[in-house]
Structure 1
Amino acid sequence: MLSLEKLIERSGKLGSLPAIVYKVFAVMDESHSTATKIGKVINDDPALTARLLKLVNSPFYGFTAKVDTVYRAVALIGHEELRSVVIAASAINVFNGIPAELVSMKDFWKRSLAVAVTARVLAAFKREKTIERFFIAGLLHDIGSLLMYLKLPEEMAQVLQQETSNGIERARTEKEIIGYEHTEVGGGLLKKWNLPPQICASVRYQLEPGKAPEKEQESAWLLCLANEIVDKHFDLETGSELEEIAGEIDITVWQQNKLDPSLLSTILEKVQQQFESSKDVLIS
């Protein structure tokens, strides 16, 4: 059985962001970075260019005039949001070859996107300065599972079988069968990708936010709430609020996020809008 460290170490190209992502980030981080410089790098990747323009012209951003060049798109959405778009447009295509009997990739990314937009909406309600980091954390919150499906397919098949037949939660079963959870894998993989500590820690501790380092606890609690909202209140098939409530969210999770549960309907309305306006762009 692969240890957690060996699994991440041997993830190779299957567990790496495309080179274009790091090229874009390198230019963005230059002291004299400009929209023109960044745009030139993005233009070298036709697939990324197409997705960027399609997303920027969607209701997700709501610009009234058509944005027809990458340079204009970069200037309009700013560096922080650009990081989200670049990662979102690239990460979805990273993992290939996962057995269909283990996971439907379309369903996987639909749920991941729903958690991402929910985290983004929650961060906006909390008036966080960099809400796009929460979008990235939400989109990649379950990325550890994909690496486990790829590298440990037999063990993960056992995990899913026990989860289905016995109703035991997946993380607990992973711990029993494999020795570590998908959140530990995800946090370690994102650290390998050199993503910010806030994102890595929120993914790692989303199931147990109270155990996160003090600086990252707030982010972990927010991702925990985003997961709960999607699981219990959001219909992934219709992109709308569930007609039957799957279960109430623990009041502690709301309190840790300093948010009132009465905001739920407003939150879900905004989640629905953002989910629908980005789904067809990001999930092909």
Structure 2
Amino acid sequence: MLPFVAHKERGSALKALLAGDLITIQFPGLVDREVNELSDFLYRLLSELDLAFLSEPTFVITRELLSNASKANAKRIYLHFENKEHGTEEQYTKAMKGFANRVLEHWEDFRKQHKNNEYYTKLLFQLKDKHLHIEVRNNAALLPREVERIRSRLELFKEHQELDAVFASVRDESEGAGLGLVLTLVLLQNAGIPGNHFRIDTNGEETIARIALPRDQEEAKTRNRYIKNVLDELDALPSFPENIQELWNLCNSETSSIQVITARVEKDPALTAQVLKLANSAGFMTRTRNPGLSDAIKIIGLKGLGNLLMVAGARKIMTTRYKKKDLESIWDNSNRVSFFAGKLARQDANARDFAGVSGLLYELGKIVLISMKPELIQRIQDMLERGRIRNTAMMEEVALGIGHPEVGAMLAERWQFPEPIVQAIRFQQKPLQAEDPYRRLIHCVYLAVRIQQATAGNVDFFSIEEEIRQDFGIESPIQFEGLVERLEKEYELSGGG
């Protein structure tokens, strides 16, 4: 629950904000992942203003500013308790190295140790003058060297206005602000919002970061040159293998027989082995032990065989075109997401038919992007693992003009995959934008991806959209951790999917 100052729950705060009232959320001086609760509030607010397309970048910007404010508070606490001199440039540089090592590298411990402190971090919203005004305030006035640091970051943005160039240029993150201000400006620019709609200054007692989002903002059309390169790469990918396409057509034909389909599968030894393995897996427990190919096809069903063909064809194309080392971790992640999604979708017939195969195909687009910009994609992944972003797609859109879910969905469309799979791939990181009849399927895939990321320690309970948590009855961090642990154990017991 967000700590609204004058409202007990989100709905009344949203209503008051839309009526023109100033709404304040007051966090502790040292914040952490609890600020992820803002996501759902921002999405609902911006949807009311017909600005839903700005919800994810606005969330990332807001959280980045809250993080910077919190780190500024932590810096004051550290300098005070450690009695650090910071009057000269040399003293300040030395103090900041200690701050990075002793505070930023041990943030949770520092938060617990200094839970009771004099500092606060406030987030304010108000609709005024055809703009949504957002302010982040903390009661630590800017130090002269912080002013200079801000100025240098703004100069960096003027020099490098694309994200991969910024990544390459920023080396000093000793104070924790790092990319924060530049990232804010890049996100605003890509949304078509002028840089002068953001500013940061001090009133002598507080540091105040201000953003003004125009209420009449239209979704910006990216001018990033890389989007053409991505589309060219998709055009260069081969069509689906002919033998798999023919089998796929047979599976979808009302006049095909099991005998005809079996005879065609037998001509492909690798595909035959995959069918037999699937029929003997934990997901298809039957009385028939070691079935022949015809019985195996009956066990998994023509729909199951069709799903297997899609995955086999897609992986064959990707394996022949892209580097093996880039694929191994993606296939492993996809196997886990497929297993988790299948478990989550068991109670819903519509979602159950496509959850597993959608999980196996969800990162097709990432393979394409890795082949084009490996260092950039790795830096974005690093940001996810460090908790600075909740999903990688939005950052990919900023840097390349397109994210891997959209690339994967475009591939699925070109290869004529069923529409539920296309939609599950496209909205895997934007579940609140999902519409019926695919909403439950997309929610299953989204949560399965989050669970897979949680097994690696990259996300937690607060990183999941509140609506999705409610949809699956996940009410607390402990409950989410239990779900992750249970599904991970089931996956390992199944032999790895």
Q: Same fold (TM over 0.5)?
A: yes
User: How far did residue 99 of structure 1 move?
Assistant: 4.4
User: How far did residue 268 of structure 1 move?
Assistant: 5.4
**Equivalent residue runs for 1:152-231 within 5 Å:** 152=372, 155-164=373-382, 167=386, 168-169=388-389, 170-231=392-453
The alpha-carbon distance between structure 1 residues 50 and 107, as it changes in their structure 2 partners (threshold 3 A), is: same
1:35 to 250, 258, 262: 258
8 Å Cα contact 1:209-1:224 kept in structure 2: yes
TM-score by length of 1: 0.79
The residue aligned with 1:66 is 289
8 Å Cα contact 2:359-2:445 kept in structure 1: yes
Q: Which moves more between the two structures, 133-142 or 169-178?
A: 169-178
Aligned with 1:94: secondary structure? Answer: helix
8 Å Cα contact 1:117-1:275 kept in structure 2: no
The residue aligned with 2:460 is 247
What are the superposed Cα offsets for residues 195-238 of structure 1, whole Å, 9 maximum, x if unpaired?
Answer: 11111011101111222344333322221111112211x36xxx
Q: Distance in 1 between matches of 2:250 and 2:357?
A: 20
The alpha-carbon distance between structure 1 residues 64 and 215, as it changes in their structure 2 partners (threshold 3 A), is: closer
1:56 to 271, 279, 296: 279
User: How far did residue 111 of structure 1 move?
Assistant: 0.8
The residue aligned with 2:490 is 273
Aligned with 2:406: secondary structure? Answer: helix
Q: Which has the higher contact order (CA 8 A, sep 6+)?
A: 1
Q: Which has the larger radius of gyration?
A: 2
Give the aligned CA root-mean-square deviation in angstroms: 2.9
Q: Distance in 1 between matches of 2:339 and 2:307?
A: 11
User: How far did residue 86 of structure 1 move?
Assistant: 2.7
User: How far did residue 57 of structure 1 move?
Assistant: 1.9
8 Å Cα contact 2:335-2:359 kept in structure 1: yes
1:98 to 319, 322, 325: 322
The residue aligned with 1:111 is 333
Q: Distance in 2 between matches of 1:72 and 1:34?
A: 13
Aligned-residue identity in percent: 20
What are the superposed Cα offsets for residues 163-214 of structure 1, whole Å, 9 maximum, x if unpaired?
Answer: 4279554323312221110011011111111111111011101111222344
The alpha-carbon distance between structure 1 residues 71 and 165, as it changes in their structure 2 partners (threshold 3 A), is: closer
User: How far did residue 3 of structure 1 move?
Assistant: 2.2
User: How far did residue 47 of structure 1 move?
Assistant: 0.6
TM-score by length of 2: 0.47
Aligned with 1:279: secondary structure? Answer: coil
The residue aligned with 1:10 is 235
1:127 aligns with 2:352: no
Question: How many pairs does the alignment contain?
Answer: 261
8 Å Cα contact 2:326-2:367 kept in structure 1: no
The alpha-carbon distance between structure 1 residues 65 and 165, as it changes in their structure 2 partners (threshold 3 A), is: closer
8 Å Cα contact 1:112-1:139 kept in structure 2: yes
8 Å Cα contact 2:251-2:302 kept in structure 1: yes
8 Å Cα contact 2:365-2:407 kept in structure 1: yes
Aligned with 1:95: secondary structure? Answer: helix
The alpha-carbon distance between structure 1 residues 190 and 64, as it changes in their structure 2 partners (threshold 3 A), is: same
1:76 aligns with 2:309: no
8 Å Cα contact 1:48-1:90 kept in structure 2: no
The residue aligned with 2:308 is 85
Q: Distance in 2 between matches of 1:60 and 1:98?
A: 30
Q: Distance in 2 between matches of 1:205 and 1:109?
A: 20
The residue aligned with 1:137 is 358
User: How far did residue 83 of structure 1 move?
Assistant: 2.0
8 Å Cα contact 2:284-2:299 kept in structure 1: no
Consecutive unaligned residues in structure 2, runs of 5 or more: 1-225
Q: Distance in 1 between matches of 2:334 and 2:370?
A: 16
The residue aligned with 1:238 is none
